[in-house]
Amino acid sequence: MIAVHRALIVLALLLAAAGLAGDAPGDVLTPYRSVRSGDFLRGATLELDGLDRDPAALEARLRTMRDRYHIGTVGLYRLDAPDALFAALDRLGMTAVIRLEAYDPDSFAFTEADADRLIERYEPLLSRLDRARVAYLAVNMPLDDPRVQARLGGVNTPLSVDRQTAYAEAVVARLRHTAPGLPVYLGVFYGWDGGYQPPSYRSAGADGYFLTSYSYPGTAVPGPADGDDTLIDAAGRRAVMDRFRAQYGDAPVVVEYGLHTAEHHPGPRPGQTAGLVADRAAKARALAATTRFYRDTYPSVRGTMYFGFNVYKSEGHPPAMLDFGLA
């Protein structure tokens, strides 16, 4: 009996090492079941908020993300101290997605001059990146900014479509020159309600794409008793993937999404319903189900980038503080 018990313990340890020992502890909100997920990118956006200027605290946060939440890649909007970050990532065996997000909303119009300004803005950072620890550069395509849309006569106008294509080509070409060897991913977004009709950016020759795709509740906000398809809005997600595959085929793609809960709000449900589920239990199930949906259904989906590990932000009309965060 003792020998059998010992054998079971050994088996459990082996399964854990292989990443097959089941879900993360019940008190942890995470999309990822294990540290090891093959080649599937296990990402989450991290707001540093100056944390990169405190190397010890930064490494502790990254270690928690890796060991407790099974996150292997951090998405970063702003990075002030890249040396500390990449030293920590190297010690922990993690990678980063560097988001090239900055633009001037009062002048941006998807022009080559805008591409030049983007490179100028990020060139000092690009020269300091540890290439071995960069999963890819994520280039923002700010279609959802109404000021940019108005400048082009609308999001779906011929001018907007032509400018987007030319901008994508210019940015990829300039990044290949400025940061050779770093994979470049372009952002693809079909609109919160699916109303955007962006052109294909394939002519730019990017290494891949990151696709923004959120679930949406129906009349009733889905809860933990609902099936996975309802909980994650599988029909809506399939429709978005169908549009993406029609434009890009089997090109590598990382899907970005987030979840927040109705229980976080004592009053009526928030105006921002993208990613809305009933409560923490529903969110926990939806996180795991979303990973399974993309990993098991679409071989070209390289991974997911959850928004966001420590993100709590005000959105919607009227504005409401949304609990996207995992931590």
* pLDDT confidence bin for 265, thresholds 50/70/90: confident
* pLDDT confidence bin for 26, thresholds 50/70/90: low
pLDDT of residue 327: 83
* pLDDT confidence bin for 34, thresholds 50/70/90: confident
Which residues 6+ apart lie within 8 Å of 292 measured at CB? 228
Q: Judge contact between 120 and 99, C-beta under 8 A.
A: no
Per cent of the chain over pLDDT 90 is 82
The 10s digit of each residue's pLDDT in 231-264 is 999 999 999 999 999 999 999 999 999 999 999 9
C-alpha dihedral (101, 104, 107, 112), degrees to nearest 10 = -40
pLDDT of residue 28: 93
Separation CA 201–CA 169 (nearest Å): 8
User: Hey, where are the domains in the chain?
Assistant: 29-322
Q: How far is CA 248 from the centre of its chain?
A: 19
Compute φ and ψ for 212, nearest 5 degrees: -85, 120
The 10s digit of each residue's pLDDT in 117-132 is 999 999 999 999 999 9
Expressed in angstroms, the distance from the first to the final Cα of the chain is: 41
pLDDT of residue 18: 37
Does residue 100 have a pLDDT over 70? yes
| Residue 148 CB neighbour total at 10 angstroms | 23
Report pTM.
0.91
What CATH number is given for 29-322 in this structure? Answer: 3.20.20.80
